[in-house]
Amino acid sequence: MAEAESIAELVPPNEVGAVDSAVSGPPVAEAGGVLTIDLGAIEANWRSLRRRVTPAECAAVIKADGYGCGIEKVVVALARAGCRTFFVADLAEARRVRAVVSEPAIYVLNGLMPGTASQFAEIRVRPVISSMVELAEWDAFVSNNQWRGGAALHVDTGMNRLGVTVNEAAALAPRIRSANHGITLLLSHLACAEQPDHPLNARQIGAFHEVRLLYRGIPSSLANSSGIFLGSTAHCDMVRPGVAIYGVNPIPGQINPMRPVIELRAHILQLRTVPRGETVGYGASWTAKRTTRIAVLAVGYADGYLRAASAADEAPGGNAIVAGMRCPLAGRISMDLLAIDITELPDGAAHRGDFATLIGDEITVDAVASAAGTIGYEVLTSLGRRYHRVYRG
């Protein structure tokens, strides 16, 4: 198939259909690495989550370019699977989604920036209102333009980030007696859902249920990916999974119930031998403890392979798989390059131009995140645009 630079070359605008395998980015021979994204796994993960929460609706969070996977292609795949409500971060993302699907509801989590109300109406998307100031501006626009597209009301139940207070939500509740109150969804956000025993979960669930009683008849949403696994008390009328759809483990410390979505392989640029006692990379932080064979890969932190996963004498860092064997990183990850220790490989097992797997096989996104001291969200959303991308499914 010829290389495709946009979803428009694969799926006509506003038409949800089959997406064949497709590629984007530079050709394989010119790219430092190949990023493979399994759209079928994304669909399967969403369906698995939907089964867990029935009869609640299962929406999908697709912000940050579909968690680094490509927002247009992710939207088409999820819409094909049956998803009818999407959450994005901002208007720019909402425009990209609306360009490829015409019917699903789209909510903008970052809400209403000053002076942007008309743009929400233009593309038929809904702001998530998080303050009384936003609400006043939105109400003025709705009144002046007779707009009936609706909005969500975000109630802060303990995150202390965005959202009206519980008391403000209670004061606003009488408005739902009006025929044109305009609230299509009531939502809040869990702060500690990935820690099932954290006491804040119960406090937030309890507070949100109290607010829900005041908004009878209005659909409500609380649970994110991890929140789904807290049980039915967190499900309400709609759940909003994000990272779990893309294969990251929503229940840390337990077996991941989600299918892996991405594979990342990097080209080997050069093989070299480093004498015992010599160092590798910036800062001379990694020292060869024996005569060491090194493979230099054409991927670095500019490609989203996080510098924090670097290896030093005191810290092992991340890993790669070459010729079926796990090989540790050697030295600091630089902007465009990283090195791995292939001494344990048989002679001739690796060659210039071969691939090393950085994510895939037994190296999960969560494992890479752990090596970098971060979370799978950051790994996924850091994936760069210099890769040759292959979409399957």
> Which of the residues are catalytic?
63, 282
HEC string of 17-44? Answer: CCCCCEEECCCHHHCCEEEEEEHHHHHH
Helices (H) and strands (E) in the chain, counts: 11, 20
User: What does the alpha-carbon distance between residue 273 and residue 342 come to, in Å, rounded to a whole number?
Assistant: 10
User: Nearest-CA neighbor of 200 among 264, 170, 252, 156?
Assistant: 156
- Token pair of 309 as six digits: 């996963």
- The C-alpha atoms of residue 215 and residue 287 are separated, in whole angstroms, by 63
Half-sphere exposure of 314 (CA within 13 A, CB side): 2
From the list 148, 115, 160, the residue with the least C-alpha distance to 133 is 115
95 CB-contact burial (10 Å; exposed 0-12 / middle 13-18 / buried 19+): middle
Place of tokens 């809040």: 188
